[in-house]
């Protein structure tokens, strides 16, 4: 209940980690499928995030828009 799941979908630095309050973390990347195109990517338009949490849990989501210019 006091841990944080941090997921990075940057192509050059993909990971999924569970952080403890002391800053230590466990790599849980083996539980993720980074080969899926839709893994933590938010499509254009309106989206809905569904999360199932127990009564004492909290949820905070941060995302940013990026564009690839070629």
d(CA 50, CA 68): 28
Return d(Cα 19, Cα 23) in angstroms, integer: 6
pLDDT higher at 16 or 70: 16
| Torsion over CA: 66, 38, 14, 27 (sign) | positive
Q: What is the pLDDT of residue 35?
A: 67
Q: Which two tokens stand for residue 19?
A: 């952080």
**According to the model, what pLDDT value does residue 16 have?**
85
Q: What is the mean pLDDT of residues 46-61?
A: 80
pLDDT at 10 over 80: no
At residue 29, the 3 state secondary structure works out as: helix
Q: Tens of pLDDT along 26-53? A: 998 887 666 665 456 677 788 887 787 8
């Amino acid at each position: 209940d006091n841990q944080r799941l941090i997921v990075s979908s940057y192509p050059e630095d993909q990971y999924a980690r569970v952080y403890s309050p002391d800053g230590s973390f466990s790599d849980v990347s083996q539980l993720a499928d980074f080969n899926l195109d839709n893994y933590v990517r938010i499509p254009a338009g309106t989206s809905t995030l569904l999360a199932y949490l127990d009564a004492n849990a909290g949820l905070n989501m941060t995302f940013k828009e990026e564009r690839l210019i070629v």
